[in-house]
Amino acid sequence: MVRRVSIVAYVGLLVVCVVAVDILFFRNRFWERLLANVGIVLVFAAFALRFLRKP
């Protein structure tokens, strides 16, 4: 149960980060926003694969 809560919190943090970057920096720029979102998701995925996997 704790693992599910941590996964939901991690995904929630990802969503908040993407939305905040979209609103603050790339409001009317589609391609830049898309590239930034892909980069943020890749960083979160790399962090999850490196540190959050079960040993």
Pairwise CA distance, residues 17 & 3, whole Å: 21
Report DSSP letters for 1-55, one per residue.
Answer: -HHHHHHHHHHHHHHHHHHHHHHHH-SS-HHHHHHHHHHHHHHHHHHHHHHSS--
Measured CA to CA, the distance from residue 40 to residue 15 in angstroms comes to 10
Q: What does pLDDT average to over the chain?
A: 91
Note the pTM of the prediction, 2 decimals.
0.85
Q: What is the structure's pLDDT at 47?
A: 92
Q: Does the pLDDT of residue 39 top 90, yes or no?
A: yes
> For the chain, what percent of residues have pLDDT higher than 70?
98
Position with higher pLDDT, 54 vs 12: 12
Work out the pLDDT band at 35, boundaries 50, 70, 90.
very high
